[in-house]
Amino acid sequence: MLLTLLVSWLLLCPALAEQPAPAGAEAYGHTARDGGLDCVRDPCSSVMPAADSFEAVEGKPYLEGLSGDDLVGWVVLSTDLVDIKGYSGQPLSTLIGLNTEGVITGARVLHHSEPILLIGIPEQRLHDFVDLHAGMRGDERVVVGQSSDPDARTVDIVSGATVTALAESRTIMDSVTALGQDVGAIERRVQTPGHFVATEELLSWQQLLDEGVFGRLTVTAKDMGATGDEYLNVSGDQLFMDIWFTVADSPRVGRSLLGPNRYAHAMSQLAPGEHLVVVLGQGASTFKGSGFVRGGLFDRIRLTQGLAVVMFHDLDYTNLGGLDAEGAPEFKEGALFVARGGALDPGRSFELVFLGSRFDNKGGFSRDFHSFTSTHRLPKSVYVLDGPDPERALWLQAWRNKRVEVLVVGLWLLSLVAVFAGRRWTTADGARLKKLHTGYLIFAFVVGGLMLSAQPSVTQILTFVDSLVGGWRWGLFLSEPLLFLSWIFIAVVTLIWGRGVFCGWACPYGALNELTFKLGRLLKLPEYELPEVLHSKLRYLRYAILAGLIGVYLWDPMLGERAAEIEPFKSTFFVAIWTREWFFIAWWVALASLSLVMYRPFCRYVCPLGAGLAIPGSFRLSGPYRRDFCSKCKICTKTCEPRAIRPDGSIDPRECLSCMECEANWRDDQVCPPLVKARRDRERAAK
Ligand code: SF4
Ligand code: SF4
């Protein structure tokens, strides 16, 4: 039966990949998007029902929504304003409407690449989550999950897709803030609450670099065009432009760079909301250019922050000849600018944009223009935020939101480490060991699985392999705190005691399998075991499945993710089973039924995750204790449910699920024949 089901599964896999995208995705178009906002193609009215037409605004990425001739609001595509990455490392492209009162009129996800949503959690949950933002003011403080801040508005997390929810909420709120401030519907905040560090110590050039005070933008001749610039006599990797830039309001930076007098004078000229910007240049070209002399405007550099743009005029400029900081190199050119108009928020990231131009050898004054951008954020040693960081890493927020769950899972797994570290006590009493084991199985299933969804999966092995091939991303692994903790636990215990500590005691689905089998026994159902010849071959099947999944995943991650649903974990812990397609239900029911009459059939023959753990577990440092006599005695062999004890009495670490019953026997002078004999000898001698 298991084999028939497996074959059907493998046949179904290609079909699964061709399944239509979930309902929401179909409706919103799940293909990657080209170009910007287009209300002929994009459903603008769905996020701004009050508008009957939409008109472009010159030079802006958003459109005006009109009812007749009256302006009712604006619509914008988030990816035109912010770059916030989700779990997949790609942004969630969201269409958002904002009315003239600064209230969000609607939001819809047009495209995303979030794997969790595509394969397990219903798409509708994301759309429901997005809908929660409609009706909020664009300048409200929105917190996903719980918050102790009485002024914050909270929205419920999407369980199992924490990072996706955090990224989507931040995408919506940051987009409407930028849009609302640009159109005047939301008051422009002068800066994120915070302050420049006021200490007067003087830093050397090296200390400034070590603290990350400067942003840097380098442009090579090759970046400017294949042949370089003959006029400036640079080519290939030679520097066309090398720009260093920072905000110098903090005395730590300003006094160090400008010297006390120049700094004091420059600061005395600033009006509220204005900031000092230092720009230094090396390379063949110039960031100042000569145009400003004629037009009064520095047209080669500007700062941008969201939709805000800071341009520099000659009245904002002071020539910066040399730097005071000890060890500072000589720069070809330097400028001290004043960023006016309150447009620059020093508490958030900003970009320096350089517009490079070179003669293109087409004759006359014909030039070639290229634009380059570098993002910078002032370090904490220069600017300290007074409240929560609006750009805090999403994974940090996920850990904050789940601190109670992290504590519960952390204590649970640590206690399990203690059970194995203190195995002399654990295995000293067979009856106590059984009760302890059953208790851990119930906890793993009920709390770890049903309540916390802390079920590791082979998809994390696939992501791990993918990261090794395609580039490591810590944020991805840290973004699911409970799974991250589980994997740290798995890595440690597997190398010390083998995969059985996780599989035999802590895996929520494994626990369900074993508890189901115990229930079958309680109900006195018949029990089945495969004949040895079949068992010894079939136990390698899971390795083949794992290898196949890795191959498929590297070839097509989407297909790999769906094929990984051979693990029935999502149907068990993430999604209500009755809401799933028939083949997921059939697979789940078949495995559950089989588990009633056979000990852990999925774990022993199919589970690719178990296979992935069994490989490093082969090298475990310590397994259950054995003695020479074990090769003759079959007491433990008969009671070892996973059939992990070989005919010679040794233990196969890949099969052992660390129930530790054989070690309890090994210690028991009522069970283990050499100990029984020794005890009897002792008793006889005593008599
Ligand atoms: S074999 Fe798979 S399902 Fe079974 S306990 Fe191990 S990881 Fe869990
Ligand atoms: S009885 Fe079997 S599964 Fe349990 S610890 Fe011993 S060898 Fe491992």
Least confident among 30-44, 317-331, 434-448? 30-44
Q: What distance in Å separates the CA atoms of residue 422 and residue 550, rounded to the nearest whole number?
A: 37
In this structure, of 176-180, 192-196, 354-358, the range with the lowest mean pLDDT score is 354-358
pLDDT classification of 15: cutoffs 50, 70, 90? very low
Query: Do the bridges between strand 104-111 and strand 297-305 make them parallel or antiparallel, or are there none, so unpaired?
Result: unpaired
CA angle 13/14/18 to nearest 5° reads: 115
Is the pLDDT at 431 greater than 60? The verdict is: yes
Q: Which atom of ligand 2 is nearest to the CA of 636?
A: 1
Please state the rounded mean pLDDT for residues 569-582: 82
Check pLDDT > 80 for residue 80.
Answer: yes
Q: What is the residue type of 532?
A: E
Q: Quote the CA–CA distance of 671 and 135 in Å, as a whole number.
A: 71
Going from the Cα of 541 to the center of ligand 1, the distance in angstroms, rounded, reads 14
Asked if residue 77 lies in contact with residue 95, where contact means CB atoms within 8 angstroms, the answer is yes
Closest atom of ligand 1 relative to the 569 alpha carbon:
3
DSSP SS3 for 354: strand
Cβ–Cβ < 8 Å for 457, 569: yes
Looking at mean pLDDT, say which of 16-25, 260-269, 384-393 comes out highest.
260-269
Q: How many helices (H) and strands (E) would you count in the chain? A: 30, 18
Q: Is 303 in the pocket of ligand 2 (CB under 6 A)?
A: no
97-111, 227-241, 484-498, 572-586: lowest mean pLDDT where?
Answer: 227-241
- Residue 27 CA to residue 126 CA, distance in Å, equals 13
Worst-scoring range by mean pLDDT, 91-95, 434-438, 554-558, 581-585? 554-558
Cβ-contact 77, 110 below 8 angstroms: yes
User: From the CB of 630, is ligand 2 less than 6 Å away?
Assistant: no
Q: Which of 99-108, 440-449, 552-561, 626-635 has the lowest mean pLDDT?
A: 552-561
Q: Quick one: average pLDDT of 106-131?
A: 76
CA of 126 to the centre of ligand 1 (A): 29
Looking at the predicted structure, is the pLDDT value of residue 587 above 50? yes
67 pLDDT above the threshold of 70: yes
How large is the average pLDDT for residues 109-138?
78
Per-residue pLDDT at 353 exceeds 80: yes
Q: Which of 5-9, 482-486, 593-597 has the lowest mean pLDDT?
A: 5-9
- Rounded CA-CA distance 643/663 in Å is 15
Closest-CA residue to 500 (of 407, 561, 423): 423
Pairwise CA distance, residues 343 & 305, whole Å? 8
566 Cα: distance to centroid of ligand 1 (angstroms) = 12
* Torsion sign, CA atoms 580, 583, 587, 589: positive
Helix ranges (H only) for 100-161 are 115-119, 123-131
Mean of the per-residue pLDDT values of the chain? 84
Q: Which of 26-30, 70-74, 632-636, 652-656 has the lowest mean pLDDT?
A: 26-30
Give the β-pairing of 383-385 and 104-111. unpaired
Please write the tens of the pLDDT for every residue from 290-320: 655 555 788 889 998 877 788 898 889 999 9
pLDDT above 90 covers what percent of the chain? 48
**Ligand 2 near 642 CB (within 6 A):** yes
| pLDDT (0 to 100) of residue 280 | 96
Q: What is the DSSP letter of 234?
A: B
Greater pLDDT, 427 or 150: 427
Q: Do the Cβ atoms of 383 and 195 come closer than 8 Å?
A: yes
pLDDT confidence bin for 86, thresholds 50/70/90: confident
Q: What one-character DSSP code corresponds to residue 253?
A: H
For residue 83, pLDDT over 60 is answered with yes
Whether the predicted pLDDT of 27 surpasses 50: no
**Which one has a higher pLDDT value, 161 or 291?**
161
**Beta-bridge partners for 337:** 277, 317
What pLDDT score does 199 carry? 85
- Residues found in the chain: 687
Asked whether 656 lines ligand 2 (CB < 6 A), one says yes
DSSP codes of every residue in 424-436: HHHTS-HHHHHHH
CB 81 within 8 Å of CB 61: yes
pLDDT in the model for residue 26 = 33
DSSP 20: P
* Alpha-carbon distance values, 344 to 338, 341, 348, 534 (Å): 10, 8, 9, 71
CB-CB contact of 355 with 205 (8 Å): no
Q: State whether the beta carbon of 662 lies less than 6 angstroms from ligand 2.
A: yes
Does residue 651's CB lie within 6 angstroms of at least one atom of ligand 2? yes
Q: Spell out the residues 6+ positions from residue 515 whose beta carbon is closer than 8 angstroms to its own.
A: 438, 441, 442, 445
Q: 12, 7, 42: which is closest to 28 by C-alpha?
A: 42
Residue 428 reports pLDDT greater than 60 = yes
Tokens linked to 440: 């851990």
State which ligand 2 atom lies nearest to the alpha carbon of 652: 7
Quote the pLDDT of residue 159. Answer: 61
Which residues have CB under 6 Å of ligand 1?
Answer: 503, 507, 509-510, 602-603, 607, 609-610
Residue 525 in this model has a pLDDT that exceeds 90 = yes
Closest C-alpha residue for ligand 1 atom 6? 503
Let me know: does 280 contact 320? Beta carbons within 8 Å. yes
pLDDT at position 116: 58
Stretch 354-373: mean pLDDT, rounded? 70
User: With a 6 A CB cut-off, is 501 part of the ligand 2 pocket?
Assistant: no
Which of these ranges, 157-171, 327-341, 514-528, 569-583, has the smallest mean pLDDT?
A: 157-171
pTM attached to this predicted model: 0.68
Find residue 301's DSSP bridge partners: 354
pLDDT over 80 at 453, yes or no: yes
The pLDDT, as a whole number, for residue 145 is: 64
Instruction: State whether the beta carbon of 645 lies less than 6 angstroms from ligand 2.
Output: yes
Give the type of residue at 243. Answer: I
Q: Is residue 497 pLDDT above 90, yes or no?
A: yes
Residue 455 has pLDDT above 70, yes or no: yes
391 contacts: CB under 8 Å, gap ≥ 6:
348, 349, 377
- By DSSP bridging, strand 215-220 and strand 239-247 are antiparallel
Q: What is the mean pLDDT of residues 134-156?
A: 72
CA distances (Å), origin 126, targets 27, 119, 553, 650: 13, 13, 25, 51
Q: What is the Å distance from ligand 2's center to 635 Cα? A: 12
Q: Is residue 660 in contact with ligand 2, taking CB distance under 6 Å? A: yes
Q: Which amino acid is at 42?
A: D
pLDDT of 14: 44
Which among 483, 607, 656 is the best mutation to test ligand 1's pocket, defined by most ligand atoms within 8 Å of the CB? 607
Cα distance between residue 234 and residue 291, in whole Å: 22
